[in-house]
Chains A and B, each alone.
Chain A
């Protein structure tokens, strides 16, 4: 029986089971929808009917949430839902020809469902496998190292309707690719070791211990690793001092929504150093007096959910989570994992909290900030995975030790996710202050024309800047380090990033919702050979507008890649400006594409090429 034909009663049974598991609590709506979809292959209207009843929330709320997340389907998308990662690094590794190959083998069009309802193939934003791409997700499980042979094998497996559990395990293998380890990646912390060291600072007094720990964090100069670099001790202190209303508590949230294209360090930390991360969260809980913590894991890392839950269970059994941690009466803290569902914007901390509450992931109006009004309007600390891992080591070795590593304004180490044109893509952990040139040397980057630091929302630097240093005083970064050699077209790099922002804009505010689409259209216009100097002015004006009027960082940074590449790689743009005067955006030949597709024609007679321009055919 095709799952899309599930009987209404069967769907209701699935919904009841899932909702029951989450205590029929609508704050778990995102998790409930995910599990319903995992069982039904989509979220059928009958499931929404049933959710309306069992969760006692209006249908509009359920449909509003289901419609927000890219990985939730309110229309059937097949039993096999294949999404090709479409970061620029996947492009450089040939993801598009591979996707076309798969589509041809399965006789389907990208973005559409096969006529027998078996399979759909589409693209998605970076899935965090840039060091082992091209990559795809099938029913949200990651497949890496795509090749023609692997794609052909996938086509066979799909056609023969082989259950995912029986697909070759090596397809789903994800390597850590640690190339240079330092404090974090080289850590061999025994579970509980950092917590014991922390408690030992004030063995008999919980409250004093918390203050002592906060002092160590302060003295370490640790700053947030998500990119913005806010001082961790200030954040923790503000949350610790935030007044609690009766019935309220404080929360610890770990942001593992690693969505910035080109970033994959959290994937490895959570694969091989999960104890370090959970221990850091427990340290934060001790300082804040928090009893509940959340790990918000991006939907693309679904394959990590079961192993991470096993780590949590092991820590509970070892007395490192749950009630009376390390036997200390009242030291209660536990962690639960929430999965995202394909929304980059949920990496913004207030959008992440909305998502944790089972809502659409739109960033909140700030102030107030999460440290006072976070999860369920209660004081909440949100930190990056790497920040918690560092906090655990600070608990173990003390703040002074940590402050001595790195530079004055950037203490400690930074893990870089290196991908693109280099011999050894993977993770490189350095003390802060390392030069771009050094990283390029270590990873085997040759003939490099540009490095994109910290992903599309970061900065693109050219060879004359390769002596700049990684650190908050010079090149702040969330970790992405994408390398481009001279064979790459930097315009296409920028265009890929602009498409990314357009796809990921949450749509809440006017400037970002409409502006990212306008920007995408302008870049496509240049790509299609219809750009003129006027369009440069338009792009600059849009940038100013997005920067000053947008609601959150997504809109603020959406023009960065374009402005950087215009400033530093102008010839890549000028090559496309065949017309220095006005040129119409309308292209008669392109407008006929739909007619060509309908009639299955592509012969010269089905094209109109303006003779005076002699343009390349675009389709």
Chain B
């Protein structure tokens, strides 16, 4: 029999080395997250998956499970804070859901719905972020980047290419590509790359494939993000 910890009053089994997030996923419990993906080393930066472990808040994607831990996740307090973080991500970039090709497939949007976010609340920053349309097959729309670094990890750890990286600091942190020109066309990026598949929002978009699935029939139109991700990642 494997060891367990307690998540919102429920016993969750885990294997040695599992993070709280992994164990919860396997047990069918959804913890909101944006920068975590089961295929990659956890990053721990979006902080949406923060839970309370024995009264102290910590990111569940980086915290190893241990026997007897008392973990809280679905509390009003934590969900209010997760909602505020989501609002921060919305005002930091330029997110215009109604005109976005990723609407309905976007994890940021779906997470906002999941958390009951009704408005952006904070003042918008309206940053100036030019798009990169240089590549023949892919458009990069940096306006929507939430700096989750999933494309960075996918390109580095799976594709072995290092096409993407984060540069800058603080509020000026931004995604860069591996070319002197700074243009995606001058990298060895292809649509077959793992990095092309992982963007949770609408930064990395396939060209000439706009709205092939109608709004209303997309991933998170059909089922809430919690159900979808627990099935995919569990």
Contacts and interface: CB of A to CB of B under 8 A. Distances in A.
B125 interface: yes
B164 A60 contact: yes
A504 interface: yes
Nearest to A538: B122
B170 A507 contact: yes
Interface string B164-189: 11111111110011111000000000
Contact of A63 (B47, B48, B57, B176): B176
A45 interface: yes
B171 A517 contact: yes
A521 interface: yes
A60 B168 contact: no
Interface stretch (A22-30, A237-245, A545-553): A545-553
A360 B166 contact: yes
A269 interface: no
B25 interface: no
Nearest to A525: B123
Nearest to A60: B165
Contacts of A360: 166, 169
B91 A514 contact: yes
Contacts of B177: 60
Interface in B44-68: 44-48, 50, 57, 59, 62, 64
Chain B CB count within 10 A is highest, among A67, A504, A505, for: A67
A63 B92 CA distance: 23
A506 interface: yes
Interface in B128-173: 146-147, 162-173
Interface in B81-129: 81, 84-85, 88-89, 91-92, 122-123, 125
Contacts of A549: 47, 50, 57, 81, 85
Contacts of B171: 502, 505, 507, 513-514, 516-517
Interface string B201-223: 00000000000000000000000
A511 B85 contact: yes
Interface residues of B, number: 40
B146 to A, nearest CB: 8
Given A506-B169, A516-B170, A511 B88 contact: yes
Nearest to B172: A507
A518 B87 CA distance: 12
B18 to A, nearest CB: 15
A550 B170 CA distance: 13
Q: Chain A interface mostly helix, strand, loop or mixed? A: helix
Contacts of A193: none
Nearest to B85: A510
Nearest to A550: B47
Nearest to B125: A517
Nearest to B56: A548
Contact of B165 (A61, A513, A521): A61
Contacts of A58: 162, 165, 178
A189 interface: no
A48 B170 contact: no
Interface string A435-471: 0000000000000000000000000000000000000
A505 B180 contact: no
A33 B84 CA distance: 38
A38 B190 CA distance: 38
Given A49-B180, A585-B123, A343 B169 contact: yes
B84 A508 contact: no
A510 B89 contact: yes
B88 A508 contact: no
A503 interface: yes
A506 to B, nearest CB: 6
A73 interface: no
Interface of A: 45, 48-49, 58-61, 63-64, 66-70, 343, 360, 365, 367, 502-511, 513-518, 521, 541, 544-545, 548-551, 585
12 contacts: A49-B180, A59-B180, A60-B176, A63-B165, A64-B166, A68-B167, A365-B42, A503-B170, A507-B147, A511-B47, A514-B89, A518-B88
Q: Which 8 A-B pairs have the closest CB atoms?
A: A67-B167, A60-B165, A507-B173, A58-B162, A514-B88, A365-B62, A505-B170, A64-B165
